[in-house]
Amino acid sequence: MKIKCLIIDDEPLAINIIKNYLEQIEDFEVINSFNNAIDGLIFLKNNTVDVIFLDIHMPVLDGINFIKSIEEPPLFIITSAYDDFAIETYELDVLDYLVKPIEFPRFMKALNKVNKRLDANKSFHDNTKDRPYLFVKIDKKKMKKVFLDEILIIESLKDYLKISTTTGKHIIHSTLSDFTNLLPQKDFIRIHRSYTVAIDKIDAVEGNSVEIEGLRYVIGRSYLDEVKQKILNSSI
């Protein structure tokens, strides 16, 4: 099955270049293209795509707000004449950021990322049947399934929590104590009044801190003995 692509760009030349590139790759097909994001939104109400090639600077609705407006986004590859928004789009989990003029070898690297991500997603969905999970309320209307083995750290933000996982971040309304009590004690441990972490995601322990995904988190003084004992018991 071919990978379905949508192109949204207010420059006809840019659309034609991307179409031409994709026509040379057998596994990809362009199912539609638009010169504004509004038409793209309307199209996505009744159609699904795998990847969207998206410009940033467009009239009425720009690329950043277009991404934010989609509840279940596909993969995004930004195609822009400016690199100013690379960091902001990275935080939106954009797969790649291509700066115009786009050379074909660089375009191919982006397509390779698409293939890898879609293969990983397929493998993920094939192996999620018996994995424990929780549904968390991320806004007034939407409940999100969070697999426990993807959770890295839960951080208290006063009346809210930030749940950082291997696939993204979620803000929910809850206390750290209440949420921690929902988690299996053998897999998670509270290390601070503001942090609960997944034990198997701890990469290193040094002094009064743990390291997870390259970031350090302080172990609270009152938690230190319990944390070190639990980590010691889980080590070889």
Beta bridge partners of 55: none
Cis peptide bond upstream of 101, omega within 30 = yes
pTM: 0.54
Strand ranges across the sheet with 28-34: 28-34, 3-8, 51-54, 75-80, 96-99
Q: In 52-70, which positions are buried (b, 16+ CB within 10 angstroms) versus exposed (e)?
A: bbbbbebeebebbebbeee
pLDDT at 55: 95
Q: Are 16 and 101 in contact (CB under 8 A)?
A: no
pLDDT in single tens digits along all 236 residues of the chain: 889 999 999 999 999 999 999 999 989 999 999 999 999 999 999 999 999 999 999 989 999 999 988 878 899 999 999 887 777 777 777 889 999 999 999 999 999 999 988 887 665 555 555 688 888 888 777 888 899 999 999 999 988 999 999 988 899 999 999 999 999 988 999 999 999 999 999 998 888 999 998 899 999 999 998 888 887 776 55
Tallying the residues shown for the chain, one arrives at: 236
Task: For residues 165 and 110, give the distance between their C-alpha atoms in angstroms, rounded to a whole number.
Answer: 24
Whole-number CA gyration radius for the chain: 21
Alpha helices in the chain (DSSP H): 12-23, 37-44, 63-68, 86-91, 104-126, 176-181, 224-233
pLDDT at 124: 53
pLDDT at 145: 86
pLDDT at 118: 86
Angle (CA) 112-114-120 rounded to 5° is 105
Domains and CATH numbers, the chain: 3-126 (3.40.50.2300), 133-233 (2.40.50.1020)
For 4, the 3-state DSSP assignment is: strand
HSE toward the beta carbon, residue 60, CA cutoff 13 A: 9
pLDDT at 235: 58
Residue 163 burial class via C-beta count within 10 angstroms: exposed 0-12, middle 13-18, buried 19 and up = buried
